[in-house]
Structure 1
Amino acid sequence: MTPPNEPDAFKGQGFTARLGHALDGLRAAWRLEASVRTHALATVAVAVLLALSHAPALWWAVMALTVGAVVSAELLNTAIEALADHLHPGRHPAIGLCKDVAAGAVLVSTLAALAVGAAFLVGHVLPWLGWLG
């Protein structure tokens, strides 16, 4: 740990180094969290459905933001859990609360994504299949 009066070794690094750290984080989350792999599979399914249904650009943008929100929440949840487990490996009510709140953020973003998916299904996919309108 860097003492409080010394500069952080990661601050001031160039773009390539910062990008490398971010990619390391994505690789670690991929390796450690099944839910990250599940979200990746769902993302591929969404992209395929968007492409097959010839969805307009606005739907691509909405889905990109929606998927990004869910995956970001999942990554932050993973980071919080890892940090909490490192700082306090035993059970503690404050750590449990922290983890529960982070998991709640993932749940909220996932429910919002399901609402967006339902709107896409009803407003675009079902008419494309000839089942509505």
Structure 2
Amino acid sequence: MNNEKFSIINRIKSFKYAFNGLKLFFVLDHNGRVHLFAAIVAIGLSFYLKLSALEWIAILGVISAVIVAEILNSAIEKLADVVSPDFHPKIKVVKDLAAAAVLVTAFLALAVGAIIFIPKLLL
């Protein structure tokens, strides 16, 4: 257990690491930029279609879920590359599972988007 005294200043400073992680994700990760673009399109469409509060919650929830899944996938892949720079079948399984989590989350986001946007666009 860490006996360091609690400090609001240190907690506030710790946010810089999280914001730096977001910056790195969106600048260095190609999939991060794809998801950011998709999020911007979905949010723009949400404003245009004047979604209800519950629809906004659903859209923002799945956007967040996809981005979080992709950030975790990227972190796992980078860590796995350090642990095992050469091909290893067990590392491949770990990477494939992390990628599958993103895929499932993205499919959920597409389904939610379709349920919300398609009826409004067809009216």
Distance in 2 of aligned mates of 1:49 and 1:26: 24
> Alpha-carbon deviation of 1:30?
1.6
| Superposition RMSD in Å | 1.8
> Alpha-carbon deviation of 1:69?
0.3
2:46 pairs, out of 30, 43, 50, with 50
1:122 pairs, out of 106, 118, 121, with 118
What is the identity percentage for the equivalent residue pairs of Structure 1 and Structure 2? 36
> Alpha-carbon deviation of 1:17?
2.2
* Contact 1:73–1:109 (Cα < 8 Å) also in 2: yes
* Contact 1:55–1:124 (Cα < 8 Å) also in 2: no
1:63 aligns with 2:35: no
Residue 37 of structure 1 aligns to which amino acid in structure 2? Answer: R
Quote the residue 2:106 is aligned against.
110
Quote the residue 1:37 is aligned against.
33
Residue 32 of structure 2 aligns to which amino acid in structure 1? Answer: V
Quote the residue 2:70 is aligned against.
74
Larger helix proportion of the pair? 2
> Alpha-carbon deviation of 1:28?
1.4
Distance in 2 of aligned mates of 1:109 and 1:40: 15
- 1:67-111 Cα distance to aligned partner (Å, 9 max, x none): 000000000000000100011101001110000000000000000
Quote the residue 1:87 is aligned against.
83
Please tell me whether Structure 1 or Structure 2 has the larger radius of gyration of its CA atoms.
1
TM-score for both structures, normalised by structure 1: 0.82
2:97 pairs, out of 74, 82, 101, with 101
Quote the residue 2:16 is aligned against.
20
TM-score for both structures, normalised by structure 2: 0.88
| Pairs aligned (count) | 119
Moved over 6 A (4+): none
Residue 57 of structure 1 aligns to which amino acid in structure 2? Answer: A
> Alpha-carbon deviation of 1:18?
2.1
Distance in 1 of aligned mates of 2:90 and 2:97: 11
